[in-house]
Chains A and B, each alone.
Chain A
């Protein structure tokens, strides 16, 4: 498996990255850990004449946790997420999700930035970031801007990031309440047949807010506002969970592939969301 030839760049700073992007436009791609891009290049499904390796660009490997928010640099790996004590208490859903991504070797290389920027509907972090109402910081020749995760994904591999922009960080408002990231996969390393990210806030025995997003059940992650709304004001009993599942099923649009036919995927989506809601509620 030999990818097509490319020019390789390892700039030392973001200015260097942006100037290469400006020169070569969509013939250039940035690479973080490479564990999505390199397999695609080996299969020759991605053609990258100019490959920009971000490993020497500083300032994107930090995790900063404050009382109100969390900032994760784009080059932070899944392994870093799992290993970070402050993050495990501030946003335990991140660790729970990262542990279900790929395998140990891939988690040493695979980054948060690559996972959210790639636009692959199979990636777990995009749905998770929609659940958490995160924003992505991108930088380009015109400067920086923040894009809400819920507005970022347009179609498979199509995002609101322009070709000449680089995603540098993920900003997450400090999550509240109970959480769960539930994922059904065929084996270690597989993408989800269905996955659900849930955060629920409980007050006096009833749900005061709920956020629900689904992975790999459409050509983008799906933030289901209606599914969350179905839980609010309830005691998250069976009727409320059924209503949330029905709302979620109205928002997803799975397609048949080697993980099963549409009816099966919808069934699994319902099972997974129920488990995620029940676990999040038990922790709320």
Chain B
């Protein structure tokens, strides 16, 4: 049994310090230790993407990272992307275009999609499907997820142009 270690991670801009065993999976740290329950546990085997968070500019499945690996890093979860009073364009688009049904996969979907649009602000349908392939949805058949991301991409591009 290894001893608990002291870790510091910054989640959505807030520094968190705590003691944990190195083997604790990051998704449990977020959900059960820090009460950040946006990232979900779907398969817990790095297939479904429900636990997706952003770490150092990478979309990462938080079920496949030990808390020890995340020590000292900055993490963004769905809670840091937008809230009920200031929805991110992706959140708004998922709402408007029925990009979700049960909603279980949605935090992971949107978190992944923020990174996808950051790397490729105007993706084709094929690029969206390929870029979202690490996230599984069992309700929508994906069609409306693709539409939502296309709509958000268009809105974000228009907003960026307007700002320039």
- Judged by a CB distance under 8 angstroms, whether B49 is at the interface is yes
User: How many residue-residue contacts, CB under 8 A, span A and B?
Assistant: 84
Q: Are A105 and B112 in contact (CB under 8 A)?
A: yes
Which residues of chain B have C-beta atoms less than 8 A from A39's C-beta? 45-46, 64
Q: Are A6 and B2 in contact (CB under 8 A)?
A: yes
**Mask: chain B, 103-142; 1 = CB below 8 Å from A; 0 = not:** 0000000001000100000000000001111100000000
Q: Which chain B residue has the least Cβ–Cβ distance from A50?
A: B2
Q: Are A108 and B58 in contact (CB under 8 A)?
A: yes
Q: Which chain B residue has the least Cβ–Cβ distance from A2?
A: B23
Which listed residue (B61, B68, B69, B130) contacts A105, Cβ 8 A? B61
- Judged by a CB distance under 8 angstroms, whether B74 is at the interface is no
Which residues of chain B have C-beta atoms less than 8 A from A3's C-beta? 23
> In residues 1-34 of chain A, which contact B (Cβ within 8 Å)?
1-8, 10, 34
Q: Are B134 and A104 in contact (CB under 8 A)?
A: yes
Q: Are A5 and B44 in contact (CB under 8 A)?
A: no
Q: Are A108 and B59 in contact (CB under 8 A)?
A: yes
Q: Tell me the complex Cα distance, A38–B45, Å.
A: 10
Which residues of chain B have C-beta atoms less than 8 A from A103's C-beta? 49, 133-134
- Judged by a CB distance under 8 angstroms, whether A279 is at the interface is no
Interface centre among A2, A105, A106, by most chain B C-beta atoms within 10 angstroms, is A105
Q: Which chain A residue has the least Cβ–Cβ distance from B56?
A: A108
Interface size on A, residues (CB 8 A): 28
Q: Are A109 and B58 in contact (CB under 8 A)?
A: yes
- Judged by a CB distance under 8 angstroms, whether A67 is at the interface is no
- Judged by a CB distance under 8 angstroms, whether B150 is at the interface is no
Q: Are A5 and B59 in contact (CB under 8 A)?
A: no
Which residues of chain A have C-beta atoms less than 8 A from B112's C-beta? 104-105
Q: Are A35 and B64 in contact (CB under 8 A)?
A: yes
Q: Are A1 and B60 in contact (CB under 8 A)?
A: no
Q: Which chain B residue has the least Cβ–Cβ distance from A7?
A: B2
- The verdict on A106 contacting B22 (CB below 8 Å), with A6-B2, A8-B68 known, is no
Which residues of chain A have C-beta atoms less than 8 A from B91's C-beta? none
Which residues of chain A have C-beta atoms less than 8 A from B147's C-beta? none
- Judged by a CB distance under 8 angstroms, whether B21 is at the interface is yes
Which listed residue (B47, B52, B58, B65) contacts A38, Cβ 8 A? B65
Which residues of chain B have C-beta atoms less than 8 A from A105's C-beta? 46, 49, 52, 58-61, 112, 134
Q: Which chain A residue has the least Cβ–Cβ distance from B49?
A: A105
Q: Tell me the complex Cα distance, A195–B66, Å.
A: 31
**Mask: chain A, 161-199; 1 = CB below 8 Å from B; 0 = not:** 000000000000000000000000000110000000000
Write the nearest CB–CB distance from B90 to chain A, whole angstroms: 16
Q: Tell me the complex Cα distance, A5–B44, Å.
A: 18
Q: Are A8 and B22 in contact (CB under 8 A)?
A: yes
Which residues of chain A have C-beta atoms less than 8 A from B59's C-beta? 104-105, 108
Given contacts A1-B25, A34-B66, A51-B22, 15 further A-B contacts (CB under 8 A): A2-B23, A6-B23, A34-B69, A35-B64, A38-B65, A42-B25, A51-B66, A102-B134, A103-B134, A104-B133, A105-B58, A105-B59, A108-B60, A109-B58, A189-B133
Q: Can you pick out 20 interface pairs between chain A and chain B where the beta carbons lie within 8 Å of each other?
A: A1-B44, A2-B25, A5-B2, A6-B2, A7-B2, A8-B5, A8-B22, A42-B45, A53-B69, A104-B59, A104-B112, A104-B116, A104-B133, A105-B52, A105-B60, A106-B46, A108-B59, A109-B58, A188-B133, A189-B134
Q: What is the interface of chain A, defined by CB distance below 8 A to chain B?
A: 1-8, 10, 34-35, 38-39, 41-42, 51, 53, 55, 79, 102-106, 108-109, 188-189
